[in-house]
């Protein structure tokens, strides 16, 4: 059975630059928060994001989506839980659940393509990363968008 715990939990404090005139986190900031959470997940698993480059690959965002649930505001501490949704040969989909305390504020996902460096062509995910992510893969209900 898949481990239902997040692959990683990233925390980020909302800064003034993250907010709109109403003091609410601007919709364009969640993809930035989610990308930072992905980098920190890789760092937690491999010790450094640069380990991917040493293995000749990088992860590029191919698709993403965000659903806004409740407002987050300046100085809130966002807790972003990262879960592995899909794990293909050359692709990886991570799900992100952002909350302030126990209130969900946004949910989203990014589908990454593993790209060989420096040629920038599709390449298999490194076996070491795959072994670390596979136990954390959460089965998705049929018909669920990545």
Please report whether residue 144 resides in a domain. no
Question: pLDDT by residue (tens digit) across 9-36?
Answer: 999 999 999 999 999 999 999 999 999 9
Q: Bigger pLDDT: 86 or 119?
A: 86
Please report whether residue 40 resides in a domain. yes
Structural domain span for residue 106? 8-133
Q: Bigger pLDDT: 141 or 37?
A: 37
CATH number, domain of 125, equals 3.10.129.10
Structural domain count of the chain:
1
Q: Bigger pLDDT: 145 or 62?
A: 62
What is the model's pLDDT at position 1? 44
Question: pLDDT by residue (tens digit) across 59-100?
Answer: 999 999 999 999 999 999 999 999 999 999 999 999 999 999
- List alpha helices for the chain, DSSP H: 29-46, 50-54, 127-133
Please report whether residue 138 resides in a domain. no
What is the model's pLDDT at position 144? 54
Please report whether residue 143 resides in a domain. no
Please report whether residue 145 resides in a domain. no
Rg (CA), the chain: 16
Please report whether residue 1 resides in a domain. no
What is the model's pLDDT at position 13? 98
- Work out the pLDDT band at 7, boundaries 50, 70, 90: confident
Please report whether residue 139 resides in a domain. no
What is the model's pLDDT at position 4? 66
Please report whether residue 84 resides in a domain. yes
Listed residue (140, 144, 118, 114) closest to 128, CA to CA: 114
How many Å apart are CA 5 and CA 53, to the nearest integer? 27
Residue with tokens 């609410």: 24
What is the model's pLDDT at position 143? 58
């Amino acid at each position: 059975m898949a481990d239902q715990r997040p692959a990683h939990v990233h925390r980020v404090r909302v800064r003034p630059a993250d907010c709109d005139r109403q003091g609410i986190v601007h919709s364009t900031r969640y993809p930035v928060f989610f990308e930072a959470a992905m980098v920190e997940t890789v760092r937690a698993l491999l010790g450094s994001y640069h380990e991917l480059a040493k293995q000749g690959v990088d992860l590029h965002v191919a698709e993403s989506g965000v659903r806004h649930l409740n407002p987050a505001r300046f100085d809130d501490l966002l807790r972003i839980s990262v879960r592995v949704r899909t794990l293909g040969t050359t692709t990886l989909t991570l799900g992100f659940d952002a909350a302030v305390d126990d209130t969900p504020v946004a949910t989203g996902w990014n589908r990454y393509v593993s790209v060989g460096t420096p040629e920038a062509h599709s390449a298999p995910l490194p076996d070491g990363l795959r072994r670390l992510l596979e136990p954390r893969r959460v089965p998705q209900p049929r018909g669920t968008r990545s």
